[in-house]
Homo-oligomer: A and B are copies of this chain.
């Protein structure tokens, strides 16, 4: 059977699914269960309105420790003409919460009476007197919680469709219930498929992929109120997958069949769905994630089990959960679907987007001065860290070919908007010490968000007012001085300061034991040496070009000069993987990936900070850390690092 993948627009896909769910009677709450009140009910959704069975309080209760009495009996009491009541007849001692005698209509607090003994003398213990003396009257129903003060029997306590919170449980109990009807949790089967997959914790060999999509999907389902059942990995065999799907359909309300949803040689999902039921949609014009399958599986008893073919790339899988699974669970649970908070922000970079797709762009977001900024993260469907780092999603809808830098975009936030005010943007050259800084700043309630665009890119961001600071290591090839000249050139007239940060050694990263015997930049022109470069504008790139110029080497002589990476670690990874034989970078990156390092130059890496932020409370923890022994020690221990200039204002 041959299967063709043809993307249809998201709203059309959702409409088809919707219609099939409706025909199958799966368009509302799946069912309800009546459960005893317990703390486990928090987050569950009521399926019936809760009406009060009893009032609360269900009798007139004393609101203070004191004596119950009739207000009329003490109406005339005054300091100079007190009233005395006989205890037992006209007044009765009550503790807070005690019922009032039927004849009483007020409580006088114990501290407001004089307790008298049988001789009319004042007693020290006020609880068992013969009589009490009052020197002031009080209105009827004083210090009484009248019946029904909180809840009147038959009144609506909670509507149906209400998500239970702790206080709701208390109100339901107060209203005389010991159980409550809530929607049952949808059972979701998660079927990972793929011959190349291995379970988490198994030894990792080349060509094997750790199966963690089922973990992410199960965690999403749990978070959204469903019950997740993770099945073992099924190899890519049509018969095995078909059997698993059939089995899962009998036991579940929904099947998530992970991967194999595309149209490749080992993609059986669509075939299986077609064989066991109805293939409604194969391909949705959503990026990342387009090979989504929507279908219905027939159970033995003739009923239908919806199935979603989830794409294999982790970002696609997680977004498929958000787009397709969450709203379905919400409907089955009887609660509104999750609505992210949206803010408007300025996009820091130009983005292009396939015009046929709804494009889900992960962004980091934060406030710099009076601007809310969104900076796009990696767009690869395989880059799950882009979701981990994301503050939100910008959807570039179908028909849009992209946005210009500086455009206003809507950001669907993953975190409370307040946190954006605690975000420090660091756009510029990356240094490993910034990862440590992020870790330490978290303890101060600050989020350091860094985008690696190179030293020059950072200065451009400063010029545009789009970052709180920029890491910079730009050598002035005339004076041999770092950063000062570049700041003057890029930011003329702007008030910025330069905070000394680290000196670090730059050199060549080579494979362990240096198999190609590379000794310096002059080896880069060798035929058998493949180089990996940093991107244009990176300080390391400028340093390289400067040193190559001194040696009279032309970039054209170097194989791999055009291979650009954006971080030291990425350069190191290229060497570690054998994709290149060497690259210029810092010692720490070599140590991190177990490479050898040939030290060549020392350079100065500083933080360029607009003068207004140098005074700002937002960045104070950063300055504190620059003087903090523990943080300095952590950075100083990085190989090839010297922290003696850290925290010194250079300009």
Contact = CB atoms under 8 A, between A and B. Distances in A.
Interface of A: 36-42, 49, 54-60, 63, 65, 95-99, 102, 105, 127, 140-141, 145-162, 165-171, 173-174, 176, 178, 194, 196, 200-201, 204, 206-207, 209-210, 212-213, 215-223, 228, 230, 262, 264-266, 312, 314, 318, 321, 336, 339, 341, 380, 382-385, 387-388, 416, 418, 435, 438-439, 442-443, 445, 563, 567, 569-570, 572-574, 576-579, 592-593
A219 B169 CA distance: 8
A268 B333 CA distance: 45
Contact of A150 (B95, B176, B383): B383
5 contacts: A148-B574, A158-B388, A167-B318, A170-B212, A170-B215
A173 B160 CA distance: 39
Contact of A176 (B40, B204, B578): B204
Contact of A264 (B56, B95, B577): B95
Contact of A95 (B57, B215, B266): B266
B388 A159 contact: no
A341 B210 contact: no
Given A150-B382, A161-B442, A223-B166, A212 B173 contact: yes
Give the top 8 A-B pairs by smallest Cβ distance, nearest first: A178-B201, A148-B573, A166-B219, A173-B212, A154-B592, A39-B218, A147-B577, A170-B216
Contacts of A210: 56, 173-174, 176
B98 A388 contact: no
B167 A577 contact: no
A200 B222 contact: no
B439 A159 contact: yes
A384 to B, nearest CB: 5
B215 A39 contact: yes
A173 B153 contact: no
Given A222-B42, A388-B171, A579-B60, A570 B216 contact: no
Contacts of A37: 200, 212, 215
A236 to B, nearest CB: 9
Contacts of A336: 445
Copies of this chain, complex-wide, total 2
A517 to B, nearest CB: 21
Contacts of A570: 148, 152
Contacts of A98: 196, 207
A176 B212 CA distance: 11
Contacts of A176: 204, 210
Contact of A196 (B38, B39, B97, B418): B97
Contacts of A221: 39
Contact of A388 (B148, B167, B262, B442): B167
A95 B260 CA distance: 11
Taking each of A41, A95, A102, which has the highest tally of chain B beta carbons within 10 Å of its own beta carbon? A95
A212 B168 CA distance: 11
Contacts of A592: 152-155
Contacts of A149: 380, 382-383
Given A154-B592, A209-B97, A219 B41 contact: yes
Contacts of A215: 37-39, 166, 169-170, 173
A171 B388 CA distance: 7
Given A96-B262, A150-B385, A220-B166, A579 B228 contact: no
Nearest to A140: B563
A200 B170 CA distance: 10
Contacts of A230: 39
Nearest to A264: B65
Contacts of A578: 102
A102 B576 CA distance: 13
Contact of A99 (B147, B206, B212): B206
B55 A573 contact: yes
Contact of A212 (B156, B174, B213): B174
A306 to B, nearest CB: 21
Contacts of A159: 438-439, 442
A265 B95 contact: yes
B576 A228 contact: no
A167 B384 contact: yes
Contacts of A563: 140-141
